[in-house]
């Protein structure tokens, strides 16, 4: 049997009860493209080579309806964290987008080992970060 090799993270999930606000924020402020939306259950976004899933936590704890894909009930309550990869040249544009939308930056700093991060929150209170990959030694 060959060893399994995990190649990266394909999707990240956050939770928000107000999917309309989440969709506007991630589409209009962060700049992600919507892949799909299912009423008040979820909205999914393309994020580079991955996908950001935003679920309504009240809906994802329910079992799948008959005939639906057999994805088990899952989810959580409370705020989470996601970090978006950003190049050094992308910070000014992202900071301007956040400022135009009235989204405050909670922190903006250089890591001791190199790389910049900014932190802010989505309408549901999730902690979001934009960072250069080199904060983790990734070029």
Q: Please tell me the distance from the alpha carbon of residue 119 to that of residue 91, in angstroms, as a whole number.
A: 12
Tell me the CA distances in angstroms from 40 to 48, 50, 64, 106, 116, one per residue in order.
25, 22, 14, 29, 35
Tokens standing for 38?
């299912």
DSSP alpha helix (H) spans, 1-128 = 19-24, 57-60, 91-100
- CATH, domain range 11-61+78-136: 3.10.180.10
Q: CA nearest 130: which of 112, 108, 100?
A: 108
Mean pLDDT, the chain, as a whole number? Answer: 93
Task: Give 1's pLDDT tier (boundaries 50, 70, 90).
Answer: low
Tokens standing for 53?
């899933």
55-68 per-position pLDDT tens digit: 999 998 888 788 88
Q: Check pLDDT > 70 for residue 108.
A: yes
pTM of the model: 0.92
Question: For residue 38, what are the β-bridge partners?
Answer: 42
Percent of the chain at pLDDT above 70? Answer: 99
Q: Please tell me the distance from the alpha carbon of residue 82 to that of residue 126, in angstroms, as a whole number.
A: 8
Residue 113 confidence (pLDDT): 87
């Amino acid at each position: 049997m060959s060893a399994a090799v995990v190649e990266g993270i394909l999707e990240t999930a956050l939770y928000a009860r107000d999917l309309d606000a989440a969709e506007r924020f991630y589409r209009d402020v962060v700049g992600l493209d919507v892949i799909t939306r299912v009423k008040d259950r979820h909205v999914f976004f393309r994020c580079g080579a991955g996908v950001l899933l935003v679920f309504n936590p009240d809906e994802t704890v329910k079992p799948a309806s008959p005939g639906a894909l057999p994805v088990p009930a899952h989810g959580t309550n409370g705020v989470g964290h996601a970090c978006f990869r950003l190049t050094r040249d992308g910070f000014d544009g992202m900071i301007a987008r956040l400022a135009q939308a009235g989204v405050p930056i909670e922190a903006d700093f250089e890591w001791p080992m190199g790389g910049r991060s900014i932190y802010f929150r989505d309408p549901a209170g999730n902690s979001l970060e934009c960072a250069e990959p080199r904060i983790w030694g990734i070029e």
